[in-house]
């Protein structure tokens, strides 16, 4: 059975002074048995978030993730962070986010190298893929995402990546901060296409076991439509992840999905906070 995952991408928000308190508040508001929770703050706030979660009874099982890594292990790359540098700070990492593709000109091949570094370092990766508006309107959304998945996985050992717990997040770029919305059916169709790509690549159990998240401006009001789709296993949350009330609603709905899928084997813990 696939994990149900809610990952918070804080992007370029928070500082070390306020990130820990926010993380602890969110952890306390989002206790839901069967749901894997991850918070991905800016690099400078990783330690603060890690420490705050460790000190919180509700946060001890919340994962900490980085928002990107460099494709090399070390070298003359001013301002960059390599996978080994995250030891003790994070256990998850996002690679290939649409904003990194757009702002840092990250190519599919480069993202594949980052994915390989993450797996080698023991970081659980969330690989982001998704199409632009023009590509969807042209009817090429599925071929575009198929190519992104194939290029990223060309750089890695499939068996090792499977063991490393790869997660894929489908983020339709045209539905992020634009006012346009994707539907649950859109996300489900793309998830099916991604799993078909994995099966064609010979991925070990990939078509059935790999979690696929939705990441297109998710809110507590919209999450139910996506989690109602059996092919969708959670969400990569952007702006809403900075709001405890929003995260509480999103994770609560994810908890319903986890229970429906048989992932809840014990009584939920009492909510803290």
Provide the annotated active-site residues. 97, 171
Q: Which two tokens stand for residue 67?
A: 């928002």
CA distance 151 to 190: 17
Helix (H) / strand (E) element for 236: namely: strand 234-237
Where do the H-state alpha helices sit in 86-222? 98-103, 108-120, 133-137, 141-153, 158-163, 184-200, 206-209
Q: Give the helix/strand (H/E) hosting 213.
A: strand 212-214
Q: Which two tokens stand for residue 157?
A: 């050992």
Nearest Cα to Cα of residue 122 among 155, 95, 154, 93: 93
């Amino acid at each position: 059975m696939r994990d149900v995952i809610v990952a918070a991408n804080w992007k370029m928000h928070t500082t070390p002074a306020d990130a820990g308190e926010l993380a602890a508040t969110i952890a306390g508001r989002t206790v839901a048995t069967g749901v894997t929770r991850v918070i991905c703050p800016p690099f400078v706030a990783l330690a603060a978030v890690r420490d705050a979660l460790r000190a919180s009874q509700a946060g001890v099982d919340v994962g900490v993730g980085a928002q990107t890594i460099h494709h090399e292990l070390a070298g003359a790359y001013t301002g960059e962070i390599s996978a080994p540098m995250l030891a003790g700070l994070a256990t998850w990492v996002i690679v290939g986010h649409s904003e990194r593709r757009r702002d840092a000109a990250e190519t599919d091949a480069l993202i594949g190298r980052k994915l390989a570094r993450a797996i080698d370092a023991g970081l659980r990766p969330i690989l982001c893929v998704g199409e632009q508006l023009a590509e969807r309107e042209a009817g090429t959304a599925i071929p575009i995402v198929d190519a992104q998945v194939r290029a990223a996985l060309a750089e890695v050992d499939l068996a090792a990546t499977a063991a490393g717990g790869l997660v894929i997040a489908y983020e339709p770029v045209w539905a992020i901060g634009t006012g346009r919305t994707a539907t649950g059916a859109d996300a489900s169709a793309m998830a099916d296409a991604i799993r078909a790509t994995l099966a064609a690549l010979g991925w070990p159990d990939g078509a059935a076991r790999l979690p696929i998240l939705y990441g297109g401006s998710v809110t507590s009001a919209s999450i139910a439509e996506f989690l109602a789709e059996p092919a969708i296993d959670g969400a990569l949350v952007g702006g809403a992840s900075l709001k405890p009330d929003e995260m509480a609603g999103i994770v609560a709905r994810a908890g319903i999905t986890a229970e429906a899928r048989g992932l809840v084997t014990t009584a939920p813990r009492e909510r803290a906070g």
